[in-house]
Amino acid sequence: MRVLFWTDWFVPSIGGVEVFSARLLPALARRGHEIVVVAGHHRSGLPDATTLEGVKILRFPFHQVLAARHVDRMGAILEQIASLKRELAPDLVHLNTLGPSVLYHLETVRACEAPVLLTMHSPVMPDATRADTLYGRALRTATWVNCNSQAVRAELCRLLPELSDRSSVTYYGMEPPALTPAPRARHEPRVLVFGRLVPEKGFDIAIHAFAVVAASIPGARLVVVGEGPERQALERLAATLGLSSIVEFVGPVPPSAVPRLVNTVSVVAVPSRWDEPFGLVALEAALMARPVVAARVGGLPEVVEDGRTGLLVEREDAHALAEALVCLLRDPAAADRMGVVARARASALFGWDRCVNEYERLYERSALARV
């Protein structure tokens, strides 16, 4: 099958969706599918054309031209895209993100009338119901909409009931790391939060919670991994709370180093304040047999089973987060058991081969469908 994979952002920018896509597409290419990625030029200095393990990647300055409101340059890009679509004649267009670049797709649909699969990796925005938005237009005109959790699909169907019979859920998948899970440290335990340092991730809530944790568990440390615009504010918060010596800011780590990182901690926290659509971090922790304390938001309760693979707490509740962390750190045997169950459950429900198989079937089903 020939697939035009459309995305606003792609590696080397790092986000859960980007890393997942960069693993999925080569896997599909190895199964004989021809994948061409059309992506935004989100960083300067990237080549216009490159390949990633057999997948061709073409980048266009979508966002820059839209932000500059430059109609002539936009016209030139639209002509390039229309020409690309005609030449490639894909069996399927897969919209992997619903960002600004979707305008270029929608305005070139006449060049290629292939069915459109739209994947929702993020919480559904209220604009979905409006007739005068790109966001709503893309959803209404998609042949099939795929969501990364039941929570995202439920919200989608609540806002747009007409999508109930042309939408589905495909969970992310991840290969169990080659690294064997290390025993969890009993003394001076480390708690990990990692991801982009943005307000939505709620790392400030974890720092507030750690003021309580540190008072209860001598030697406990909070390890913050990732980069982003909130870093300075988070460092200031830790200093203000007198926690600079026990909150460690590591900076970013490559995706391949995550298992090794998780192996060094006792518990992973996912204190997101937004409706985290899935929670890849929770899955990465589970695969390394770590219990997770997560906010009860979005799709996280589908990844973290409360009381069996971790503990769920209410959104924005630093006190509840602290209590849950203390509970696990004080009862290492229970935390160990949760980690073991988490790893087994993650392997069974969120396996990599299952994910690639499901995407392949999704592509086949979408390519045959018509709105």
Chain residues binding another protein by CB under 8 A are 8-9, 11-15, 17-19, 22, 42-43, 47-54, 57, 63, 66-67, 69-72, 74-75, 78-79, 82, 98-100, 102-103, 106-108, 110-111, 125, 127, 130-135, 137, 196-198, 200, 226-228, 252-255
Among residues 17 and 318, whose Cβ is nearest to another protein? 17
- Burial code (b: 16+ CB inside 10 Å, e: under 16) for 150-164 equals ebbbebbbebbeebe
Which is closer to another protein, CB of 16 or CB of 173? 16
Q: Which is nearer to another protein, 48 or 364 (CB)?
A: 48
What is the bridge-based pairing of β-strands 55-60 and 49-52? antiparallel
Least spacing, CB of residue 273 vs another protein, in Å: 13
| 3-state SS, residue 28 | helix
SS3 of 9, please? coil
Q: How far is the CB of 252 from another protein (least distance, A)?
A: 5
Q: Are 55 and 79 in contact (CB under 8 A)?
A: no
Residue closer to another protein by CB (options 72, 165) is 72
Gap between the Cα atoms of 151 and 189, Å rounded: 33
Between CA 201 and CA 118 the distance in angstroms is 25
User: Nearest distance from residue 83's CB to another protein, in Å?
Assistant: 10
Shortest CB 366 distance to another protein, Å: 23
Token pair for 258: 């995550």
Residue 180 CA to residue 259 CA, distance in Å, equals 9
CA angle at 279 for the pair 302 and 291, rounded to the nearest 5°: 75
CB of 7 to another protein, least distance (A): 11
Q: What CA–CA distance (Å, rounded) separates 338 from 286?
A: 9
Tokens of 169: 């859920």
User: Residue 168 belongs to what H/E stretch?
Assistant: strand 167-169
Nearer to another protein, 45 or 218 (CB): 45
Which stretch of DSSP H or E encloses residue 214? helix 203-216
- Nearest distance in Å: CB 256, another protein: 9
Closest approach, Cβ 250 to another protein, in A, equals 13
Minimum distance, C-beta of residue 364 to another protein, in the bound complex (Å): 27
121 phi/psi in degrees, rounded to 5: -100, -5
> Per-residue DSSP letters for 110-148?
GG----EEEEE-SPPPGGGG-TT-HHHHHHHH-SEEEES
Nearer to another protein, 147 or 220 (CB): 147
- Residue 55 sits at φ, ψ, to 5 deg, of -105, 125
**C-beta closer to another protein: residue 52 or 211:** 52
Q: Of 243 and 262, which has the nearer Cβ to another protein?
A: 262
Q: How far is the CB of 51 from another protein (least distance, A)?
A: 4
Nearest CB to another protein, comparing residues 70 and 273: 70
How is 230-246 classified by DSSP, letter by letter?
THHHHHHHHHHTT-TTT
